[in-house]
Amino acid sequence: ALVLLSVLLAVLLTRFVEDRLKTWSWPEQSKRRLAGVVVLCLALVVAPVLSLQQAEDRRATAILADADRNNPGAAVLLPGFRDQADPDAPAIPVVTGDHYQKPGLGEPCPAELGIPEAHQQWCFDTVPNAEPAATLLVVGNSHVHMWIPAIEELAEANDWRVVTYIRGSCTYSTVEEQEVDHEACTRWLEGTDPVVEAVGPDLVLLQGTRSTNEGEEQFTPGTEQRIRDLAERGIQVVALRDNARFDFVPAQCAVDHGADAPECAASHSILGPDSPLAPVADELERVSMVDMGDLICPDGRCPPVVGNVYTYWDNNHLTVEYVRTLAPMFVERVRDALAADGVAPSAAP
């Protein structure tokens, strides 16, 4: 709406103001007159746009105020859920076509951690805790970053500290396995071992497998070696099975064709019962695999909207809003995975 209004105003101003000003000599007779005309023209453009923006902001605030009732998200998948949403309540978040909205990571890591200067830009004290029951280090790219709202709830439930070392598009494996070939990933990767050493985590959460647009699930040798190295050091590894990714944007498809349109839902092999990560998790008692796939794509299909919340922001990142609704189930599944390996969250190694 804002874009259309801006275009309409531009056309009208060009036709009825700019073209006429070109032949009007009165403003040019003094700088004060010219300045006044410029201010008036700006006001004609800015005032309507600001008014519409304020109206949109008020609407968004009203929607979020009722989100617990109208936008339950993943909660609708739980047994015994009672739907109390308004039938015409809009889905959240509003689809704008903007870049993926990342959750915040908190304050930079404190100097006393001793993170090498070359790697400090990627280290954050995401959930500070002066006397934690355990310290969790989150290492990886945007596919662990997007889980931060759920990780924060996990930390709160278990009295953990959370430190993050994240760089988008870079995988916690080897230089050769990086999806993006640039110097930043190499420098980030070089910092992973020093950061583990400096933080001294009880647990490390990482992306265990990677989905592809072609419907595959990858578990690379480099990732496996990282997992084995951490386990050998006595660190409990929480390895996330990746979420499905697609060659289209489900949310935009829903806007264009409707949330229930068949072409807006898809499947992926990563939703199957067998993961290449599972044998390593079964072999090593310090490796716990967590799979959230069925809560993102129930019954093996990935709808663009679950519980009146858009699941994906783009073709592979979950929305902050949907991850927040997943948080209680995420906490439960991490606890169950650790318990299966004989680890109590409050006494992680």
pLDDT tens track, the chain, 349 positions:
555 555 565 666 666 566 665 666 666 666 676 566 566 656 665 655 555 455 445 445 555 558 889 999 999 999 999 999 999 999 999 887 777 679 999 999 999 999 999 999 999 999 999 999 999 999 999 999 999 999 999 999 999 999 999 999 999 999 999 988 778 999 999 999 999 999 999 999 999 999 999 999 999 999 999 999 999 999 999 999 999 999 999 999 999 999 999 999 999 999 999 999 999 999 999 999 999 999 999 999 999 999 999 999 999 999 999 999 999 999 999 999 999 999 987 656 6
Question: How many DSSP H helices and E strands does the chain contain?
Answer: 13, 11
Domain end residue (candidates: 65, 97, 119): 65
The per-residue pLDDT for 98 is: 73
Assess if residue 87 is contained within a domain: no
The per-residue pLDDT for 225 is: 99
Residues 28, 140, single domain; the answer is no
Residues 59, 122, single domain; the answer is no
Assess if residue 27 is contained within a domain: yes
Residues 196, 311, single domain; the answer is yes
Residues 270, 194, single domain; the answer is yes
The per-residue pLDDT for 276 is: 98
Residues 28, 150, single domain; the answer is no
Helix (H, G, I), strand (E, B) or coil at 170: coil
Assess if residue 93 is contained within a domain: no
The per-residue pLDDT for 55 is: 44
Spatial separation of the C-alpha atoms in residues 346 and 349, rounded to whole Å = 9
Assess if residue 195 is contained within a domain: yes
Q: Is 202 within 8 Å of 235 (Cβ atoms)?
A: yes
Assess if residue 20 is contained within a domain: yes
Residues 237, 149, single domain; the answer is yes
For residue 304, give both structure tokens: 């663009």
Spatial separation of the C-alpha atoms in residues 329 and 177, rounded to whole Å = 31
CB neighbours of 114 closer than 8 A, spacing ≥ 6? 198
Assess if residue 78 is contained within a domain: no
Assign residue 155 the CATH number of its domain: 3.40.50.1110
Q: Crossing angle for the helix pair 2-13 and 31-65, nearest 10 degrees?
A: 160
The per-residue pLDDT for 67 is: 82
The predicted model scores a pTM of 0.84
Assess if residue 101 is contained within a domain: no
Assess if residue 208 is contained within a domain: yes
Domain end residue (candidates: 65, 86, 115): 65
End-to-end CA distance of the chain: give it in Å, rounded.
54
Alpha helices in the chain (DSSP H): 2-13, 19-21, 31-65, 67-70, 142-145, 148-158, 183-190, 192-199, 221-232, 250-257, 278-283, 293-296, 320-340
Spatial separation of the C-alpha atoms in residues 340 and 349, rounded to whole Å = 14
Instruction: Report the length, in residues, of the chain.
Output: 349
Residues 160, 274, single domain; the answer is yes
Only one residue has tokens 């739907």, namely 83
Spatial separation of the C-alpha atoms in residues 99 and 260, rounded to whole Å = 24
Residue 158: Cβ-neighbour burial (10 angstroms; 0-12, 13-18, 19+):
buried
Residues 151, 291, single domain; the answer is yes
The per-residue pLDDT for 95 is: 84
Residues 337, 244, single domain; the answer is yes
Residues 236, 334, single domain; the answer is yes
Residues 309, 161, single domain; the answer is yes
Number of domains the chain contains: 2
Spatial separation of the C-alpha atoms in residues 148 and 199, rounded to whole Å = 18
Domain that holds residue 23: 2-65
Residues 314, 264, single domain; the answer is yes
